[in-house]
A and B are shown apart, each in its own frame.
Chain A
């Protein structure tokens, strides 16, 4: 099912689930400022720093990448998930552990199906194999937010998944040999 983004903007409570940077301001700005003037003031650059007068912009300056990215329109209607991929529990190496990732939810129906000819997986979803890596959560959020049309569509809808909760207490070899006053509760067979 396609998600209609307009209704989502209209509803004030969506902020709970799906954050939008221009959330509250979108509809207001949409009516007051014509698209022409906005794109005239807006340099079509992709740098992070903006030169647009600050009174037009929300506090977090975002340069819309959508105008020049050539991404298909349908992409704006899909939710992306921003998350830090879990470390593989099979391995102890910490490499790539701090990366963040954007990927797309599987499209119901168009996600994958078994190709009748070969039995392989076919897909009608051109984003199913795509994922984007980022150095930090903020980078990923910024990327998602800038995928919009300036002051019209405020980037991709995203859901930020909680980063892994990890609490490792200080460990001590001597704990193996600590005297326990009562009945022993473990028989070590190492």
Chain B
């Protein structure tokens, strides 16, 4: 973090708990803030002395080794830039950030120049103005004048900066015209108009450093420099959409969004992503009733500035296959009904099924929000049942890790904490697909530090190198014993981190694996210290941490009961065979997917962009989403449906408004409504959790079945992404490897998009 003389107090206070008005008690946020503010890997070269320099007559103090552009920013001077980006390596090739430094004969590129003590910098002199204007003129010499048909229009850095710093007239009178560059095909997500490229190389640096796509690069020199994949190849990365954001001009734009909207037409709603358990901060841009696009929001505690392609592009699935009206099954077809009929039909079905106590079962699906989970649990409990199961394999039994202590199922090291680990052991997980944005942090750390990664489970391409230790629980035993090269490194690690995939609890050997992990953690001194908790479970489903937090688990008696009445809350991964023939099934959700097909009554709920609800991410960070667009048709917010149903079945729930419901959540666990912070579990309690884990799994034998990755197709993991056309195209291009796109689409004129 930059610290400046004037702003030093501010910088220091920013590491204190951020107490939002009086809404969030600061008690626990202080611990999390301390944890997250510990150290960034890039500053890992030990903190050097601060230096003081003068920018535009203003003294500013920055740490030694800071780029001049950062020092200027810290002094409040805006420096135009194209190639410099806060989260990428410095390239220094656009020259837009030229500033004047005293006693320097020429203007200096402030991004590539370290700030020097005592130097006097000027950012607003005739020399600087002239330099910027000159750079702008060169950039525009080869830039097409197609702003009216360019998708970047309205949020284009080149447009903005040419207005602000450029010349008001052209001296370009070349008879040969401008340079033209052939478009590249980067797949179904990124549209290229390479003639517009100003060769800032941000996309290359992003691909190299963050995404791990080392094929995207430049060829040629000077006027002939081109960006591309060298050979005809798509950009196969789950983070590729971010290059659209990074591109300061319209060379890389979003293909699904091409010619759909202009930025000034859009309403921005700041919300939270739910398509994985990272809880990426997003901005939902909507026009009228439709979500037009999804953009990342900067949050260095969660997703930095990146979001995965599924997060960014799956939103078109919100338009298709929606349940818009309650449906009642009659024979082999669904008949639309109104809410009263549907709720009555459920009450009748409940009565007719004769379900008593634990025969009433509720299944929590992947996209269920915390409010509706709490409401449904309360309702089912009031009906006398404890049969609350999860929509996953072995979900009908209490999870082996136990949910009494939070650290047994959460990502305890926190997502920024991943960067501090010096040895990471991945067990039964592919973070690249289960938490794509978090995976980029591992890659970042792997590149800049001597981080060692080991993997147990299915071999996958993680975007960083790892030592493969074996496919099953036996390989873990070797690490516990400290055998092998990696075992020795792990033993010697100062901040070891074990990331256990959520699929482990769904695996037959899950108990054995967790037993070994518990042994590993307890046997390592550096694993659990007051500052560091190296035992992390990576959840992959947005609703899961919340479900565990509220105690959504079947009792022993309940998990042996055959249900007669099943309530599927957003449950679309259910195995149809697991549902008894004569059971009455209710599906509540927003898409007509697997769950709806099994149902006797379908209740249309709202998708994540259509309700303001709480989501708990894999770290246990509670975040509040926000309504961007209204739910379609007769669909309603999910917790309200459950509240209404509770009235009809004669067990009315005691909350009529969402705030009362959140009070109930507070009663269950205060952390559910302490938004935007993580509440770390102390090392003592975490240790107690591990002890219970050990005792639960004491006599477990290991079958040696290999651990499987849970996600085979990153682009289709939930009803929204399965309904999405863009995600289907991605599946074709990246998963099936079909030669997508060198295609008819490119042959037709651009007007055909419009």
Chain A interfacial positions (CB closer than 8 Å to B): 1, 3-4, 7-8, 11, 13-19, 79, 81-83, 85-94, 105-106, 108-109, 111-114, 120-121, 137, 141, 158-176, 182, 185-190
The answer to whether A86 and B270 touch (CB under 8 A), given A17-B673, A189-B214, is: yes
Q: List 17 A-B contacts (CB under 8 A).
A: A1-B640, A4-B656, A16-B662, A16-B673, A17-B673, A18-B23, A86-B270, A86-B281, A108-B637, A162-B676, A164-B297, A166-B300, A169-B40, A170-B70, A189-B208, A189-B214, A190-B205
Interface contact A19-B160, CB-CB below 8 Å: no
The docked-state distance in angstroms from the alpha carbon of A7 to that of B40 is 46
Contact A16 B157 (CB under 8 A): no
Q: Mark B657-681, 1 if CB is under 8 A from A, else 0.
A: 1111011001000100111100000
B352 contacts the other chain (CB 8 A):
no
Main SS class of interface, B: loop
Which chain B residues lie closer than 8 Å to A3 at the CB level?
657-659
Cα(A109)–Cα(B367), bound, Å: 22
- Does A168 lie within 8 Å of B70, measured CB to CB? yes
Q: Do A167 and B627 form a contact, CB below 8 Å, given A90-B295, A91-B155, A158-B21?
A: no
Which of B109-117, B375-383, B574-582 participates in binding chain A? B109-117
Q: How far is the CA of A36 from the CA of B283 in the complex (A)?
A: 47
Distance of B178 from chain A, by nearest CB (Å): 24
B142 is an interface residue with CB less than 8 A from chain A: no
Find B268's partner among A15, A85, A160, A185 (CB 8 Å cutoff): A85
A15–B663 CB distance below 8 A: no
Chain B residues lying within 8 Å of A162, measured Cβ to Cβ, are 18, 20, 675-676
With CB as the reference atom, state the residue of chain B lying closest to A157: B659
Contact partner of B289 (CB less than 8 A), chosen from A17, A18, A114, A185, is A114
Which A residues are CB-close (under 8 A) to B598? none
B1 near A: Cβ within 8 Å?
A: yes
Contact A170 B86 (CB under 8 A): no
In the bound assembly, the distance between CA atoms of A11 and B667 in angstroms comes to 13
Query: When chains A and B are docked, how far (Å) is the Cα of A141 from the Cα of B270?
Result: 19
Give which listed residue, A19, A165, A170, A173, contacts B300 with CB less than 8 A.
A165
- Decide yes or no: A19 and B23 within 8 Å by CB, A90-B295, A182-B450 being known contacts: yes
B218 at the interface (CB under 8 A from A): yes
Q: Which residues of A contact B515 (CB under 8 A)?
A: none
CB nearest neighbor in B for A160: B20
A123 to chain B: closest residue by CB: B630
Beyond contacts A3-B657, A87-B298, A89-B298: 15 other A-B pairs, Cβ-Cβ < 8 A, are: A16-B670, A17-B663, A85-B268, A91-B160, A92-B248, A106-B627, A161-B270, A161-B624, A162-B676, A170-B65, A173-B92, A185-B465, A188-B208, A189-B208, A189-B216
Cα distance, A109 to B204, chains bound together (Å)? 46
**Chain B residues near A16 (CB-CB < 8 A):** 23-25, 662, 666, 670, 673-674
Let me know if B396 is at the binding interface, CB within 8 A. no
Cα separation A153 to B87 with both chains bound (whole Å): 46
> Do A190 and B21 touch across chains, with their CB atoms under 8 A apart?
no
Q: What residue in chain B is nearest A137 (Cβ atoms)? A: B21
B34 at the interface (CB under 8 A from A): no
Q: Which residue of A lies closest to B67 (CB)?
A: A171
B residues 173-227 with Cβ under 8 Å of A? Answer: 201, 204-205, 207-209, 214-218
Contacts of B611 in A (CB 8 A): 108
A163–B629 Cα gap in the complex (Å)? 23
Q: Is B431 an interface residue (CB 8 A)?
A: no
Which A residues touch B353, using CB under 8 A?
Answer: none
- Chain B residues lying within 8 Å of A87, measured Cβ to Cβ, are 298
- Within 8 Å by CB of A167, from B1, B208, B295, B660, lies B1
Contact between chains at A112 and B630 (CB < 8 Å): yes
CA A165 – CA B678 in complex, angstroms? 14
Question: A121 to chain B: which residues have CB within 8 Å?
Answer: 288-289
User: Which residues of chain B from 4 to 26 have any CB-CB distance to chain A below 8 Å in the complex?
Assistant: 18, 20-25
**Interface presence of B446 (CB below 8 A):** yes
Chain B residues with CB below 8 A from A89, complex form: 245, 295-298, 305
Return the chain A residue nearest B29 by Cβ: A162
Q: How far is the CA of A10 from the CA of B160 in the complex (A)?
A: 52
Q: Could you say which residues of chain B place their CB within 8 Å of the CB of A92?
A: 80-82, 85, 157, 248
Contact B201 A190 (CB under 8 A): yes
Binary CB contact string for chain B from 441 to 456 against chain A (1 if under 8 A, 0 otherwise): 0000011001000000
* In-complex Cβ contact of B113 among A82, A173, A182 (8 A): A173
* Beta-carbon nearest neighbor of B18 in chain A: A162
A4 to B, closest residue via Cβ: B657
Q: 4 closest Cβ contacts across the A-B interface?
A: A189-B217, A160-B20, A121-B288, A169-B42
Contact across chains for A190 and B204 when beta carbons are under 8 A apart: yes
State whether B43 touches A170 (Cβ < 8 A). yes
Q: Are A170 and B612 in contact (CB under 8 A)?
A: no
Which residues of chain A are within 8 angstroms of B207 by Cβ–Cβ distance? 189
Q: Which residues of B contact A93 (CB under 8 A)?
A: 78, 157, 160
- B47 to A, closest residue via Cβ: A170
CB distance from B497 to the nearest CB of A (A): 18
Whether B114 pairs with A174 at a CB distance below 8 angstroms is: yes
- Could you say which residues of chain B place their CB within 8 Å of the CB of A7? 657, 660
Closest B residue to A128 by beta carbon equals B267
Bound CA span A114–B630, Å: 10
Whose C-beta in chain A lies nearest to the C-beta of B23? A19
List A contacts of B217 (CB < 8 A): 189-190
Cα-based distance from A13 to B23 in the complex (angstroms): 10
Q: Is B571 an interface residue (CB 8 A)?
A: no
Query: Which residues from B are CB-within-8-Å of A167?
Result: 1, 37, 40, 300
Instruction: Assess whether B66 is in contact with A108, with CB atoms less than 8 Å apart.
Output: no
Q: Are B297's CB and A14's CB within 8 A?
A: no
In the complex, A94 Cα to B75 Cα: how many Å? 13
Q: Which of B232-269 contact A (CB under 8 A)?
A: 244-245, 248, 263, 268
Which residues from chain A contact B299 at a C-beta distance below 8 Å? 164-165
- Please judge, given known A-B contacts A86-B270, A90-B295, A112-B629, whether A168 and B2 are in contact too, CB under 8 Å: yes
Q: How far is the CA of A106 from the CA of B43 in the complex (A)?
A: 42
Contact between chains at B1 and A168 (CB < 8 Å): yes
In the complex, which residues of chain B have a beta carbon less than 8 angstroms from the beta carbon of A137? 21
Question: Which residues of chain A are near B85, meaning CB under 8 Å?
Answer: 92
Interface centre among A15, A87, A106, A164 (most CB of B within 10 A): A106
Contact of B62 among A170, A175, A176, A187 (CB under 8 A): A170
Closest beta carbon of chain B to A146's beta carbon, Å: 14
| CB-nearest residue of chain B to A14 | B659
Q: Which of B42, B155, B216, B627 contacts A171 (CB 8 A)?
A: B42
- Docked CA distance A112–B609 (Å): 14
Contacts of A170 in B (CB 8 A): 2, 42-43, 62-63, 65-67, 70
**Neighbouring B residues of A185 by C-beta, 8 Å:** 446-447, 464-465
**B447 & A186 in contact (Cβ 8 Å cutoff):** yes
CA distance A86 to B657 in the complex (A): 29
Residue of A nearest to B307 (CB): A89
Q: Which residue of A lies closest to B296 (CB)?
A: A89
Q: Quick one: given A108-B627, A164-B299, are A190 and B91 in contact (CB under 8 Å)?
A: yes
**Contact of B65 (CB < 8 Å), options: A1, A105, A172, A187:** A172
C-alpha gap A54/B546 in the complex (Å): 45
- Give A82 to B628 CA distance when docked, in angstroms: 16
**Distance between A35 CB and nearest chain B CB, rounded to angstroms:** 25
Cβ–Cβ < 8 Å partners of B660 in chain A = 7, 11
A residues less than 8 Å from B152 (CB atoms): 90
Q: Closest residue to A7 on the B side, CB-wise? A: B660
Residue of A nearest to B44 (CB): A169
A83 touches B1 (CB 8 A): no
* Chain B residue at minimum C-beta to C-beta distance from A167: B300
CA distance A18 to B24 in the complex (A): 9
Complexed CA–CA distance, A164 and B36 (Å): 14
- Which listed residue, B70, B464, B627, B658, touches A111 by the CB 8 Å rule? B627
CB-CB under 8 A from B460, the residues of chain A are none
In the bound assembly, the distance between CA atoms of A73 and B7 in angstroms comes to 42
